[in-house]
């Protein structure tokens, strides 16, 4: 099949590449010529494990190409995937200007039947807006070309996006056009050979399913974080509680790890967008508002622990920070907990030495040149002569460090662990003062 993917971010580039991997001819469009230049030079503009090799393989095979020419991209694909950004507006609602601009560009250049597929995470009712924009533009052009608008939300985890696309739990398709549904079944057939994972529903239900999924996962995280804070007050151990409740098959173990808050491009944005969408219907989602409030507070937990231990004036103190990305296996720092911690430490007069395996370049872009903020070339280099260590991201290379070397490097053997990576009793035996999130 001939497919156009509009946008070469996490969703667009992964979608286009994985569809090419299954033998389809794919053309990816991006109006950011710097991204297209990177792709033409054999690189990728994001960090995603396994993606670079797959991109190069499919480019060499001739199945994957990149362009910034809108007319070329519209003419190429019978299926037109819209995978552009939907950044939060000032009020937290999703900004659809890029989605609607993509739809308008398709309508400006199409002359025959197209299936326009919303892959971006969009509010309920977006497909209707896309359909209206296309119909209006075609009418202005005097062109009678058939089209269908489909909702096909992505369920990709950053850091495991390629695996998620190639082996999906489910493929949700929201459509009411039988021809479009048939084409979508053909497109995804190679991904569902073991058993049919494609779920067809109405468009609005498909749009809501994506928001509901992310809101549910965010709710589990905030719930566990609040329980962890309570466990500290009550003298309980949140890890034991996690095992106790996760053993219930109705609950399960996924997304039950306490920590210093969630970040990234999905959960914060989608929770806010769903809250705003509900407010527009005059039916506020009180649970989700609490989820967002709890997460905002949780991002300050590490800073509060540091202030409790060292005082509110941190002048002359240096803190090592391990982990800058919002989660492992990505360089994404959008609304990452590390930002809140580092900004807070700098505001209190401290110096910060930060390390992350892949997000250092992104960190320099996020923070710019800041007095008091330095970057280290290794975890131990960050700890050297620091007054304490704060762990923010649970990278694998942090799981089993040389604890003797770490203890020698730090001025004080104090570790604030925002991801509960180590066993408290073992850390005490090694001579560390070890502060966690809800561990006893």
Catalytic residues: 266
Q: For residue 57, count CB atoms less than 10 angstroms from its CB and return exposed for 0-12, middle for 13-18, buried for 19 or more.
A: middle
Do residues 198 and 184 make contact, with C-beta atoms less than 8 angstroms apart? Answer: yes
Do residues 183 and 79 make contact, with C-beta atoms less than 8 angstroms apart? Answer: yes
62: left (phi over 0), alpha (psi -120 to 50) or beta: left
The two tokens of residue 269 are: 């944005």
Do residues 29 and 67 make contact, with C-beta atoms less than 8 angstroms apart? Answer: yes
CA gap 282, 350 in Å, rounded:
45
DSSP secondary structure, 36-53, as one string: HHHHHTT--SS--TTHHH
CA gap 218, 36 in Å, rounded:
33
The two tokens of residue 405 are: 């070397």
Q: Going by DSSP bridges, is the β-strand pair 318-322/351-355 parallel, antiparallel, or unpaired? A: parallel
CA gap 392, 261 in Å, rounded:
9
Do residues 169 and 224 make contact, with C-beta atoms less than 8 angstroms apart? Answer: no
The two tokens of residue 336 are: 């990452």
The two tokens of residue 320 are: 């090592």
The two tokens of residue 349 are: 């007069």
Residue corresponding to tokens 């231990």: 309
Coil, strand, or helix at residue 184?
A: helix
The two tokens of residue 56 are: 């190069």
């Amino acid at each position: 099949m001939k497919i156009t993917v509009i946008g070469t971010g996490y969703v667009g580039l992964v979608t286009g590449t994985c569809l090419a991997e299954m033998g389809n001819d794919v053309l990816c469009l991006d109006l950011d010529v710097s991204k297209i230049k990177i792709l033409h030079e054999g690189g990728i503009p994001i960090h995603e494990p396994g993606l670079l090799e797959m991109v190069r393989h499919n480019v060499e095979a001739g199945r994957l190409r990149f362009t910034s020419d809108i007319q070329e991209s519209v003419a190429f694909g019978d299926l037109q995937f819209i995978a552009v950004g939907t950044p939060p507006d000032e009020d937290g609602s999703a900004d659809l200007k890029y989605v609607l601009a993509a739809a308008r560009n398709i309508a400006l250049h199409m002359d025959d039947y197209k299936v326009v597929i919303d892959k971006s995470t969009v509010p309920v009712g977006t497909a209707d807006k896309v359909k209206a924009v296309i119909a209006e533009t075609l009418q202005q052009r005097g062109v009678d070309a058939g089209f269908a608008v489909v909702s096909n939300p992505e369920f990709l985890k950053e850091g495991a996006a390629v695996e998620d696309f190639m082996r999906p739990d489910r493929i949700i398709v929201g459509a009411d056009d039988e021809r479009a549904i048939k084409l979508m079944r053909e497109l995804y057939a190679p991904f569902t050979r073991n058993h049919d994972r494609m779920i067809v529903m109405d468009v609005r239900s498909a749009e809501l399913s994506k928001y509901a999924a992310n809101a549910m996962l965010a709710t589990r995280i905030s719930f566990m974080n609040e329980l962890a804070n309570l466990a500290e007050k009550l003298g309980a151990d949140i890890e034991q509680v996690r095992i106790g409740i996760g053993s219930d098959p109705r609950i399960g173990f996924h997304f039950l790890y306490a920590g210093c808050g969630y970040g990234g491009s999905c959960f914060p944005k989608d929770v806010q967008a769903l809250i705003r969408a509900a407010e527009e219907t005059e039916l506020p989602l009180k649970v989700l508002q609490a989820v967002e409030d709890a997460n905002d507070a949780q991002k300050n937990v590490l800073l509060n622990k540091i202030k409790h231990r060292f005082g509110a004036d941190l002048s002359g103190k240096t803190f090592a920070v391990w982990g800058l990305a919002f989660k492992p296996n990505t360089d994404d720092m959008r609304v990452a907990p590390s930002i809140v911690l580092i900004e807070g430490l700098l505001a209190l007069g401290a110096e910060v030495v930060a390390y992350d395996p892949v997000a250092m370049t992104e960190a320099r872009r996020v923070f710019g040149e800041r007095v008091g903020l330095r970057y280290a070339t290794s975890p131990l280099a960050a700890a050297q002569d620091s007054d304490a260590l704060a762990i923010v991201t649970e990278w694998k290379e942090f799981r089993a460090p040389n604890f003797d070397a770490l203890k020698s490097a730090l001025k004080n053997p104090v570790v604030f662990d925002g991801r509960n990576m180590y066993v408290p009793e073992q850390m005490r035996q090694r001579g560390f003062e070890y502060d966690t999130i809800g561990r006893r």
